[in-house]
Amino acid sequence: QVQLQESGPGLVKPSETLSLTCTVSDDSISSYYWGWIRQPPGKGLEWIGYIYYSVTTYYNPSLKSRVTISVDTSKNQFFLNLSSVTAADTAVYYCARVFGYNDPRVFDVWGQGTMVTVAS
């Protein structure tokens, strides 16, 4: 079973860019969509976006202006950049494998999540 592991700073200053990495344990990164989901403390899940084979990206319309997802297939890693962060971006950030090539819709493998706090 493939495993995912998020990594990155746990504290980001307001107005700066949040950058996270998700490392995939096998070589399947070119075969699936890969996504990011976040969960503010005590709140529900929010889809951020996903990427397929470093070519195609799709983002939550509410975050689209600030989000960039990219991939490095040589390192089996994909990345999240979220710019101009505020306290509202404080959350646990999860990376996940996405099932469904034509209609990517199912997050079937998840990382353990990483807490990111936005504060000065």
List interacting residues with another protein (CB under 8 A).
Answer: 37, 44-47, 50, 58, 60-62, 94, 99-100, 103-108, 110-113
CA distance 61 to 30: 25
3-state helix, strand, coil in the chain (%, to 5): 10, 50, 40
Q: Which is nearer to another protein, 31 or 62 (CB)?
A: 62
Q: Which is nearer to another protein, 21 or 47 (CB)?
A: 47
Q: Which is nearer to another protein, 80 or 111 (CB)?
A: 111
Find the shortest distance in angstroms from Cβ 74 to another protein: 25
What DSSP designation does 11 have? Answer: E
Q: Which is nearer to another protein, 16 or 60 (CB)?
A: 60
Find the shortest distance in angstroms from Cβ 24 to another protein: 15
Find the shortest distance in angstroms from Cβ 57 to another protein: 9
What DSSP designation does 25 have? Answer: S
For residues 51 and 34, is the Cβ–Cβ distance under 8 A? yes
For residues 83 and 17, is the Cβ–Cβ distance under 8 A? yes
